[in-house]
Amino acid sequence: MVKDKLIFNGNEKQVFSTDDPCQVIFRYKDVTTAFHGVKRARFNGKGVLTSQISALLLGYLNENGVDTHFLRTLPDEREQLCRMIEIIPLEVVFHNRIAGGLATKLGVEDGYKPENTILDLCYNNDELGDPLINRDQAVALHLATYAELDEMYDIVRRSGQLLTELLHKAGIELVDAKFEFGRAADTGAIIISDELSPDTCRMWDEETGERLDKDRFRLDLGEVTANYGKVLERLKTALGIED
């Protein structure tokens, strides 16, 4: 596998083509952004941590029957080999608790725990601020078919459950998680794409309630990489991985 051209240069990640048309390399940057790019900073080592956490979470889903774009980690610790996809510009956010933007929108206390889980469908469109969208609107814009939306919801319910259980073993509560999707270039199947890490999921320490995720940056709580490091170490222990 040979790294080829830069095909996407995002705020927090770069994607490179390879000599295999069905495989790409994801490179995680140290940059972090919030509030649609309005707030921005660099944290040395953050890219290595988000890459490694993402590899463990996506790899865990692969092993448990949910296909994702992740194939394997690479010698450069901030890079991973992934399946090439056709992007579906939709996000599904899974909520075990109502926190952040959703708490503000619904006027409930941050961290309110409902009896059910909540799934939100959003249009992944920076200019529009990733607004909520419903199924009929998504189909009207030809973003996905009804059958694909059913599949995405099913994938999110199964993944949300699997990740909640895995993180619980690590003493971490999964508060919410954002999932993105694509159609695999080789099979056309709907698979999870993009990362799963404290940058895209809220994770709270089960005992202390301490935030271990991007809210440390959003809310200026400090110690961003130290807390991402905690997530990685605890996940490794829960998965029985030794350094």
Residue 202, interface with ligand C5P (CB under 6 A)?
yes
C-beta of 102 vs 191, nearer to ligand C5P: 102
* Min dist. Cβ of residue 228 to ligand C5P (A): 13
Q: Are 67 and 189 in contact (CB under 8 A)?
A: yes
Residue 200, interface with ligand C5P (CB under 6 A)?
yes
Residue 230, interface with ligand C5P (CB under 6 A)?
no
* Min dist. Cβ of residue 79 to ligand C5P (A): 20
Q: Stretches 111-119, 145-153, 164-172, 200-208: which one binds ligand C5P (CB under 6 A)?
A: 200-208
Residue 93, interface with ligand C5P (CB under 6 A)?
yes
Which amino acid is present at 137?
A: Q
Q: Are 77 and 48 in contact (CB under 8 A)?
A: yes
Residue 214, interface with ligand C5P (CB under 6 A)?
yes
Number of residues that bind ligand C5P (CB under 6 A): 11
Q: Are 69 and 191 in contact (CB under 8 A)?
A: yes
Query: Pairing mode, if any, of strands 23-28 and 13-18?
Result: antiparallel
Question: Per residue in 152-176, is it b (16+ CB within 10 Å) or e — as a string?
Answer: beebbeebbbbbbebbeebebbbbb
Residue 155, interface with ligand C5P (CB under 6 A)?
no
Residue 13, interface with ligand C5P (CB under 6 A)?
no
Residue 101, interface with ligand C5P (CB under 6 A)?
yes
Vertex 223 angle, CA 220 and 177, to 5°: 75
Residue numbers 26-55 binding ligand C5P by CB under 6 A? none
C-alpha–C-alpha distance, residues 160 and 192, integer Å: 12
Residue 195, interface with ligand C5P (CB under 6 A)?
no
Q: Stretches 40-48, 50-58, 98-106, 153-161: which one binds ligand C5P (CB under 6 A)?
A: 98-106
C-beta of 23 vs 201, nearer to ligand C5P: 201
C-beta of 13 vs 234, nearer to ligand C5P: 13
DSSP structure string for 156-201: HHHHHHHHHHHHHHTTEEEEEEEEEEEEETTT--EEEES--STTTE
Structure tokens at 37: 């790019």
Give the nearest residue (CB) to ligand C5P: 100
Among 69, 176, 179, 192, binds ligand C5P (CB under 6 A): 176
Which amino acid is present at 166?
A: L
Angle, to 10 degrees, between the axis of helix 46-63 and the axis of helix 146-169?
Answer: 110
Summarize as ranges the residues that interact with ligand C5P (CB under 6 A): 93, 100-102, 130, 176, 178, 200-202, 214
